[in-house]
Amino acid sequence: MSDSADVVGEIVHQWRRERPDLDPSPIGVFGRLTRNYQLKQVRLRSLLGQFDLTPATFDVLANLRRSRSDGPKTAGAIASSSLLSTGGTTFRLDRLEERGLIRRVVAAEDRRVIHVELTSEGTALIDAVMTAHLENEAMLLAGLSRAEIDQLATLLAKLEQSLATTNHTSG
């Protein structure tokens, strides 16, 4: 990235110039996280569009595929492990069922329970999408060495822990 394209760096520089009494370095972290997320989402949406999926429908299919060995899932379990609302999950499941990618199955042990499972078409699709998705993400990380990728993942996990455990106060 050239210095002229470093919008976040420029923002930090401007704050240092205008308010030397403040430490704007957190902007360097969170501003870059935000920009990286936005840039990655553009690429992800483009890739998923090739498969007629959205990030949310992709998340549901990936959730079902990666947890297949854990046993059947209900819509509620999918919602909680995907960070979606139950209503949002139901909407997505309806669309995926219409496309023949998932099916709902009444649980034999309790007819009140409905499990969701991938169809063979859904499995084939998510397997193809995951291959393309991971290739895409590897390409996006091509500017980093393996050691840098590992270090970045470790630091981001540490940041996540810090965010999750920091006491929040309103100012």
CATH of the domain at 85: 1.10.10.10
Question: Are the CB atoms for 8 and 32 separated by under 8 Å?
Answer: yes
Domain membership flag for residue 148? no
Name the one residue in this structure whose structure tokens are 């470093």.
6
Widest distance between CA atoms in the chain: 68
Give the total number of structural domains in the chain: 2
With b meaning 16 or more CB within 10 Å and e meaning fewer, what string describes 37-52? eeeeeeebeebbeebe
Within 10 angstroms of residue 88's Cβ, the number of other Cβ atoms is 14
Question: Are the CB atoms for 14 and 6 separated by under 8 Å?
Answer: no
Give the pLDDT confidence score for residue 166 in this predicted structure: 86
Domain extent, residue 16, equals 1-49
Of 27, 49, 71, the last residue of a domain is 49
Give the pLDDT confidence score for residue 5 in this predicted structure: 77
Give the pLDDT confidence score for residue 155 in this predicted structure: 97
Residues 149 and 37: their CA atoms lie apart, in Å, by 16
Contacts 24+ apart (CB under 8 A), 71-77: 72/105, 72/107, 72/115, 72/116, 72/117, 73/115, 73/116, 73/117, 74/113, 74/114, 74/115, 74/116, 75/114, 75/116
Give the pLDDT confidence score for residue 3 in this predicted structure: 45
Domain membership flag for residue 116? yes
Residues 88 and 29: their CA atoms lie apart, in Å, by 31
Low-confidence ranges of the chain (pLDDT < 50): 1-4
Domain membership flag for residue 138? no
Would you state the structure tokens that stand for residue 55, as one six-digit string? 């990030």
Give the pLDDT confidence score for residue 169 in this predicted structure: 65
| 122 and 86 fall within a common domain | yes
Give the pLDDT confidence score for residue 1 in this predicted structure: 45
Residues 58 and 122: their CA atoms lie apart, in Å, by 11
Nearest CA to 116 out of 62, 69, 156, 72 is that of 72
Of 16, 33, 49, the last residue of a domain is 49
Question: Are the CB atoms for 51 and 129 separated by under 8 Å?
Answer: yes
Give the pLDDT confidence score for residue 46 in this predicted structure: 97
Residues 85 and 88: their CA atoms lie apart, in Å, by 5
